[in-house]
Amino acid sequence: MLLLLTLFLPLVFALLTYLSGNRFAKYIALLGGLVVFTCCSFLKLALVHNNLAPLVFVHDWISNPHISFALNIDGLSLTLVALTAFLVPLIIFTTFRKEIENAKAFYSLVMLMEFGLLGVFMASDGFLFYIFWELALIPIYFIALLWGENKDAAFRHRAIFKFFVYTLAGSLFMLLAFIYVYQIAGSFSASTLYSLNLTDKEQSVLFWAFFLAFAIKIPVFPFHTWQPDTYKESPSAGTMLLAGIMLKMGLYALLRWLLPVVPHGVMLWTPVVMVLAVIGVIYGSVIAIKQDDLKKLLAYSSFAHVGLITAGIFTLTHEGFQGAVVQMFAHGFNVVGLFFAAEIIFQRTGTLSISQLGGIRTVAPKFATCFMIVVLASVALPTTNAFIGEFLLLYGLYEYNTWLSVIAGLTIILGAVYMLRMYQNVMLGETNSLTANFEDLNWKELTVFVFLIIGIFEIGLVPSQFMNMVQPSLDLILNYSLR
Amino acid sequence: MNYLLVIILLPLFGFLINAFIGKKLPKTISGIIGSGTILVSFVLSSVFFLGFLNGTQQKIDVDVYDWIAFGDFKITFGLLLDQLSVMWLMVITGVGFLIHVYSMGYMHEDEKFHNFFSYLNLFIFFMLLLVLGNNFLVTFIGWEGVGLCSYLLIGFWFKNQDYNNAAKKAFVMNRIGDLGFLIGMFLLLYNFHSLHFGTIQTALGTIQVSHATIVAITMLLFVGAMGKSAQLPLYTWLPDAMAGPTPVSALIHAATMVTAGIYMIARAHFLYLLAPETMQFIAVIGAATALFAATIGVFQNDIKKVLAYSTVSQLGLMFMALGIGAFTSGVFHVVTHAFFKACLFLGSGSVIHALHGEQDIRKMGGLRKWMPITFITFLLSSLAISGIFPFAGFFSKDEILAAAYEHNKVLWAVASFASFLTAFYMFRLVFLTFTGDFRGTEEQKHHLHESPSVITFPLIVLALLAVVGGFMGLPEVFHAKHFLKEFLNPVFAQATQAGGEMGAHETNSSIEIMLMSIASILAVVAIAIAYVMYVSRKRIPAKDGEQYGIGKIIYNKYYVDEIYNALVVKPILVLSELAHDVLDRTFVDGIVNWSGKFSLMAGAQVRKIQNGSIGFYLLFMVVSIVAIFAFVFLKN
C-alpha cells in the first residue's frame, strides 16, 4: 500500500498543483515533494524492517497480453526513489526566487515527471516500466521546450525536439525487445525475464535493442550529442531534473533490465561497451576543458562521469556495482549543486559565458564556499561522496582490466583541470562590470546548498549503511548476470 | 586512542570556528584559536612522544569505524601511532604551532585573516590524518586533503590570476601523482585484500605475490610521492607555489606537506625493501633532483624561489637516502630540514615584510643593520643547511652522504656536489640580502625595521633547533648514542636486519671522518667563494634579460615549464577544441542529424504511397496478405 501511495502521490499533487492556480502552485508542489519524501522515508523503514527483502505490490492489470501492475522496492530501487524524492522538492525550491510564467503548468509538469521517474524505479513489470519510461519523457520535453530561457527560440526548439525524437527512437527498440521476450516468456515480469533461457544469438541482438535505448538516455558515447544543447537550452530546473535524476533511468535500467535478462549478450558485447564508456570518460573530460558556456561544460563533465558509471556496471564486480550505485546517488547531488550554481550566476549576471565572468568570490563569499565544496565533490576529493563512488568504480574497472582503469583514471586529473579552470575564471580574479554587484546567497539558496553539502559529506564519510542496504539487491542482480 | 583523536580533531575544530564565525571575531581571538588548538595538539603529541621515549607508550593501531564496507569488502577508518608517526606528529604540531604564531604577526593587515587561520588549521588536520592513518586510504584522505589546502593557500590572494594559476598547477600536478598512488592502492587491494599497513606487512610472508607486482606497486606509490614531494619530473609546481603567503611556504611547502612522500615510503618500507629496482630508481631520481634543483637555485634572484629550489633539492637528498635504504637518515634529514628551512622561509618573510613585498635580492643588501635578529637566525639556519659542523644539517646530511658513499660512489659524488652548490647559493643569498649596501629605494630604506616579537620569537626557536637539532643523531665515530636510530628501530627493524639500513655505524670510522672532512671543506669553500664574489667584489646578479649562455638557460629554469607547456598543455587545449568542433559537432552529431534527415526523407517517400487511391490500397493489402501466408507456409 505504501508503495502505491508513494507512487501515486506525485500524480495527485500534479493535479492539485494545477488546480491551485499560478500563485500557490509552487507551494503545493513543494508540499507534494516533501510528502513524497516522507513516504520514501517510511519505505526505507519498511525495507529495513523487512530485513532488506524486497517490498512488492502486484495487481493483475491486463490479462491478455499479460501485463501486471507490479511494483518492487529493494535496496537498489529505494536508492533511486530516495534520490528522486530528495531532489525533486529541492529542485522545486531552487525556483522559488524566480517568477515563472504559467506556474501551475510548470510545477504540475514537475510533479508529473516525479510520478514517471518513481514509476520507472519501482516497476517490476517490463511493460509497466516501458510506460513509465516514456511517461517521464513527456513532462521534461514540455518543460525544456516552453520554459527555456535562451532567446534563440528556433534553436531551442530544434535542440529539444532532437532530444525528444532521439530518445523516443531509442525506446522503440526497447519496446520491440520487450515484445520479443514476452512472446517467449508469456510475461513481462522481471523475475520471469531473469530466468529465461534465450539462445546466445537472441541475446546478442536483444542486447543492442535494450542497450540502445538505455545508452541514448545515459548517454554513452557516441549517443550523447543531444545532451549539451538540451542541457544548455532547458531552464535550470529542467536541467537538474535531466542530469540529476533522469539520466539515472538509463543506468538503473542497465542493472535492472539488461544485465540479468541477457547475460550472455552482455558477456559478448562487454568489451565494446567498455571501450565506448571509457572513450566517453576521456572524450567528455577533454572537451570540457575548453568549453566557454558553463552549462555546456557541466554537460560534458556529467557525460564523462556517467561514462565511468557505465563502465563500472559492466565490470560485473561487486565493487563496480556498488561504485556505480554510490556514484549515481552522488552524481545526482553534485550535478544539481553545479547547475544550481550556474543558475544563480545566470540570474544575477545574465550570462553563462565563463570568459565574461570573474571575481565573484570577492563579493559573494558564501556562494564561493558552497560552489567550491560542490566542485571539490565533483572532482572526487576524499571525504566527499564522489570519492567513494570513483574509488570503487575505478577499482572495479581495475579488476576487469588494468589499462582501462588507468585510462579512465585520467579523469581525476582532467576533472581537476576543467573544474578548477572553470572555478578560477568564474569566481576568482578581479570583479568586472557584470560581477561587481553580485549579490551573495539568500537564505533560500543557502538552504539548498546546505542540504546538498550535508548529503555530500554523509555519503563521503559514512557510506557503509547505504551500501549495506543496496548490497542484497546487487548480489541478486550479479548472480543473474553471471549465470 | 581518545587523546589521539583529540590531537587530530582539535585543528578541525579550530578550522570550523574560524570558517563559520571567524569573520565576527577580533583578529587576535581568531589567531589565538588557530594557534591554540595546534599548541594543545602539540602538548598532547609531546606526551605521546615522551611515552615512546621512555618505553611506556605502546604502538597504537585502532580502527575507529568501518568506512567503506559492504559484503566482503571492507576498508576501515583507522589510526596508527608509532615511533615514525610520532616524529612527524612532533614536527607538524611543533613547527606548525610556531608558524601559526608567526602568521598572527605576518598576516595581521590582511582582511581575510580568519580565512587564513581556518585554512592553516584545516591543513594541520589533514596532515595529521596523513601521518596517523593506519591504512593507505586514510593516508590518502590526508594526502589529497593537504593538496586541497595547499591549493587554497597558494591562491590565498585570489584576485591575482597568476597566483590562481600557480595554485591550480600545484593541484593538477599533485593529481598526476595521485593517480599513481591510486592505481598502486588498487594493486595492493587486489593482491592483499587489504590496505592496512600492518596486515600487508604480515601478509607479505604468507601471500605469494610476484616480484613484478611488488615493483609495480612500489613504483606507482613513488609516482604519488614524486608529485607530492616535488621530484623530477613533477617538481615545477613547487617553485610556483611560492605565490602563497610566506608562512604557507614555510609550513606546507618546506617543513611538512612536501615531506609526505618521504613519510609514505618510509611507512611502506617493507614493500620497498622487496623491490631493489624501485629503490635504485628512487635513489637516482632523488640524486638527480638534488643536483638539478641546486643548479637552478644558484641562478635565482627571488629570495623565496632560491629557497623553493633548495627545498626541492633537499627533498631529493632525502629520497636518495630512502633509495639506498637509509630510512632513518632520510627521516633525520626531514626533521632537521623542517627546522632550518622553516626558519629560512620565515626569515625571508620577515625581510619581505620589512621591504613591503620586495622579493628580489638584487634590490636588498645590508639588512643586517636594521634586522639583527632576522639576520642571525637566517645565518644560523644557512650554516645548518650548508652542513657546517656542529649545526643540525651537518649530522643529517653527513649520514646520507656516508650511506651514499657505501652504496654507490657516483650517488655520493652527485650529492656532494649538490651540497656544495647548496652552501654556495645559500650564502649568496645571505650576503646579497644582509651585507653590503642597501640597494632598494629611499622610501623602503626609510621604513626598514626589525619585525615585531611575534615574528622574531618563532625565528629564534627555530634557529635554536637548527643549531642543536642534529644532536639527536650523533654519528658513531663520536662514540655517542644515535638517539634517532634507536628510537625508530622498532619501525625499521626489518630494514636493519635485512642489512638495507646502512647508517653511519656500519661505515669504517676513518672513512667516515674522511667523508665528513670532504663535506665540510666543500661547504667552507663554497661559502668562501660566495664571500669573495658577493662581499669582497660586491657583485650583483645580472638584470633580467642581460643574462647569457648557460646562466640564462639556468636562470630560466632550463625552460622546463615552457617545454611542458609546448608538449602537454598546448596539445591538450588544441585537442579539446578539435574534439568539440570537429569530432563532436561535425562528425558524431552530423551522423545523428543525417539519420534524422534520412528518416524525414524516407517519410516523404512513403507518404507518396498513401495517395488516396482505394484501388492501390486494396492491391497493397492483397499482396501483403499473400506474402504473409507464403511466409508462414514456407516456414512450416
A253-262, A421-430, B159-168, B598-607 — which is least confidently predicted? B598-607
Cα–Cα distance for residue pair B585/B531, rounded to 1 Å? 64
pLDDT over 70, % of chain A? 100
- Find out whether B300 and B312 touch, Cβ atoms under 8 Å: no
CB contact under 8 A, A392 and B68: yes
Name which residue leads in pLDDT, B159 or B631.
Answer: B159
Residue A217 pLDDT > 80: yes
- Chains A and B form CB pairs within 8 A to the count of 131
Q: Are residues A244 and A309 in the same domain?
A: no
Partners of B63 in the β-ladder: B78
Cα–Cα distance for residue pair B32/A223, rounded to 1 Å? 57
pLDDT at residue B438, as a whole number = 84
Greatest extent of chain A over all pairs of C-alpha atoms, in Å? 68
Dihedral-angle region of residue A152 (phi above 0 means left; psi in -120 to 50 means alpha; beta otherwise): beta
Which of A258, A277, A296 corresponds to the end of one domain?
Answer: A258
Q: Is A177 helix (H, G, I), strand (E, B) or coil?
A: helix
Predicted confidence band at B353 (pLDDT cuts at 50, 70, 90)?
A: confident
pLDDT at residue B45, as a whole number = 93
Q: Are residues A79 and A107 in the same domain?
A: yes
Q: Are residues A333 and A241 in the same domain?
A: no
What is the tally of structural domains in chain A? 2
Q: Give the mean pLDDT of A123-129.
A: 92
Give B165's contacts in chain A (Cβ within 8 Å): 424
Closest CA to A297 of B155, B580, B151: B580
Mean pLDDT across chain B? 87
* Domain encompassing residue A153: 1-258
Query: Which residue in A224, A376, A395 is closest to B186 by CB distance?
Result: A395
How close does chain A come to B171, measured CA to CA in Å?
8
Q: Are residues A246 and A313 in the same domain?
A: no
DSSP string, B197-253: HHHHHHHHHHS---HHHHHHHHHHHHHHHHHHTT-TTS-THHHHGGGS-HHHHHIII
How close does chain B come to A202, measured CA to CA in Å?
19
Residue B503 pLDDT > 50: no
Query: Which residue in A226, A429, A467 is closest to B161 by CB distance?
Result: A429
pLDDT at residue B498, as a whole number = 55
Cα–Cα distance for residue pair B328/B399, rounded to 1 Å? 9
Residue A383 pLDDT > 80: yes
Q: Give the mean pLDDT of B286-296.
A: 93
pLDDT at residue A412, as a whole number = 93
CB-CB neighbours of A350 under 10 Å:
11
Give A361's contacts in chain B (Cβ within 8 Å): 158
CA distance to A240, A244, A335, A400, per residue, from A91 (Å): 7, 10, 12, 37
Give A322's contacts in chain B (Cβ within 8 Å): 70, 73
Q: Are residues A35 and A154 in the same domain?
A: yes
Cα–Cα distance for residue pair B602/B598, rounded to 1 Å? 6
The set of residues, in sequence order, having a beta carbon less than 8 Å from that of B479 and lying 6+ positions away, is none
Interface test with B, best of A230, A289, A318, A407 (most B CBs within 10 A): A289
Residue B46 pLDDT > 90: yes
DSSP 8-state secondary structure symbol assigned to residue A123: B
Q: Are residues A181 and A313 in the same domain?
A: no
CA distance to A1, A74, A124, A133, per residue, from A57 (Å): 7, 12, 9, 19
Interface test with A, best of B15, B64, B70, B72 (most A CBs within 10 A): B70
Query: Which residue in B66, B171, B593 is closest to A464 by CB distance?
Result: B66
Predicted confidence band at B612 (pLDDT cuts at 50, 70, 90)?
A: low
Predicted confidence band at B504 (pLDDT cuts at 50, 70, 90)?
A: very low
CA angle A442, A448, A450 (to 5 degrees): 95
Question: In the structure grid, which three cell numbers stand for residue A130, read together?
Answer: 516501458
Mean pLDDT across chain A? 91
Q: Are residues A291 and A190 in the same domain?
A: no
Greatest extent of chain B over all pairs of C-alpha atoms, in Å? 117
Residue B452 pLDDT > 80: yes
Residue B152 pLDDT > 90: yes
Query: Which residue in B69, B572, B593 is closest to A286 by CB distance?
Result: B572
Cα–Cα distance for residue pair A415/B426, rounded to 1 Å? 39
Give A301's contacts in chain B (Cβ within 8 Å): none
How close does chain B come to A388, measured CA to CA in Å?
8
B187-227 tens-digit pLDDT: 999 999 999 999 998 888 888 889 999 999 999 999 999 99
- HSE-up of residue B185 (Cα within 13 Å, Cβ side): 25
Q: Is B360 helix (H, G, I), strand (E, B) or coil?
A: strand
Q: Which helix (H) or strand (E) holds A12?
A: helix A2-19
- Find out whether A313 and A251 touch, Cβ atoms under 8 Å: yes
CB contact under 8 A, B67 and A383: no
Cα–Cα distance for residue pair B399/B73, rounded to 1 Å? 44
Q: Is A463 on the interface with B (CB under 8 A)?
A: yes
Q: Which helix (H) or strand (E) holds A483?
A: none
Give A289's contacts in chain B (Cβ within 8 Å): 572-573, 576
Query: Which residue in A162, A392, A413 is closest to B175 by CB distance?
Result: A413
Q: What ipTM, to 2 d.p.?
A: 0.92
Cα–Cα distance for residue pair B616/B457, rounded to 1 Å? 103
CB contact under 8 A, A225 and B588: yes
Residue B338 pLDDT > 50: yes
How close does chain B come to A439, measured CA to CA in Å?
18
B572-582 tens-digit pLDDT: 888 888 888 88
CB-CB neighbours of B372 under 10 Å:
13
The set of residues, in sequence order, having a beta carbon less than 8 Å from that of A482 and lying 6+ positions away, is A263, A316
Closest CA to A466 of B182, B62, B66: B66
pLDDT at residue B632, as a whole number = 67
Question: In the structure grid, which three cell numbers stand for residue B331, read together?
Answer: 627521516
Query: Which residue in A225, A413, A421 is closest to B179 by CB distance?
Result: A413
B122-133 tens-digit pLDDT: 999 999 999 999
DSSP 8-state secondary structure symbol assigned to residue A73: E
Q: Is A465 on the interface with B (CB under 8 A)?
A: no
- Find out whether B433 and B303 touch, Cβ atoms under 8 Å: yes
The set of residues, in sequence order, having a beta carbon less than 8 Å from that of A375 and lying 6+ positions away, is A338, A419, A420, A422, A423
The 3 state secondary structure assigned to B104-138 is HHHCCCCCCHHHHHHHHHHHHHHHHHHHHECEHHH
Q: Give the mean pLDDT of A260-281.
A: 93
**Highest-confidence segment of A182-186, A387-391, B393-397:** A387-391
Helices (H) and strands (E) in chain A, counts: 20, 2
Q: Is A318 on the interface with B (CB under 8 A)?
A: yes
Q: Are residues A201 and A341 in the same domain?
A: no
Residue B618 pLDDT > 60: yes
pLDDT at residue B356, as a whole number = 85
Query: Which residue in A288, A392, A417 is closest to B172 by CB distance?
Result: A417
Question: In the structure grid, which three cell numbers stand for residue B162, read together?
Answer: 597568476
Q: Which A residues in the span 26-45 are in contact with B, Cβ-Cβ below 8 Å?
A: none
B265-282 tens-digit pLDDT: 999 999 999 999 999 999
- Please report which residue ranges of B498-609 form alpha helices under DSSP H: 509-531, 549-555, 560-564, 570-578, 589-609
> How is chain B split into domains, by residue range?
1-274, 276-555, 563-635
Residue B189: closest C-alpha in chain A: A395
Q: Are residues A239 and A334 in the same domain?
A: no
- Determine phi and psi for B439, rounding to 5 degrees: -110, 5
- pTM for the predicted model, two decimal places: 0.91
Closest CA to A36 of A66, A16, A10, A3: A10
Cα–Cα distance for residue pair B594/B600, rounded to 1 Å? 10
Which of A208, A240, A258 corresponds to the end of one domain?
Answer: A258
Q: Is A450 on the interface with B (CB under 8 A)?
A: no
Residue with the three cell numbers 625595521: B449
Name which residue leads in pLDDT, B498 or A207.
Answer: A207
Q: Are residues A237 and A372 in the same domain?
A: no
Query: Which residue in B68, B160, B596 is closest to A464 by CB distance?
Result: B68
Q: Are residues A210 and A252 in the same domain?
A: yes
Question: In the structure grid, which three cell numbers stand for residue A122, read together?
Answer: 519501482
pLDDT at residue B571, as a whole number = 85
Partners of B302 in the β-ladder: B360
CB contact under 8 A, B70 and A291: no
Alpha-carbon torsion, ordered B497, B500, B501, B506, to 10 deg: 90
pLDDT at residue B276, as a whole number = 92
A174-197 tens-digit pLDDT: 999 999 998 888 889 888 888 888
pLDDT at residue B502, as a whole number = 45
Q: Which A residues in the span 220-259 are in contact with B, Cβ-Cβ below 8 Å?
A: 222, 224-226
Residue B509 pLDDT > 90: no
A232-236, A286-290, A472-476, B630-634 — which is least confidently predicted? B630-634
Which of A237, A258, A279 corresponds to the end of one domain?
Answer: A258
Q: Are residues A416 and A444 in the same domain?
A: yes
CB-CB neighbours of A124 under 10 Å:
24
Q: Which A residues in the span 90-119 are in contact with B, Cβ-Cβ below 8 Å?
A: none
Residue with the three cell numbers 531552464: A235
- Determine phi and psi for A64, rounding to 5 degrees: -140, 115
Residue A258 pLDDT > 90: yes
Question: In the structure grid, which three cell numbers stand for residue B96, read together?
Answer: 606548525
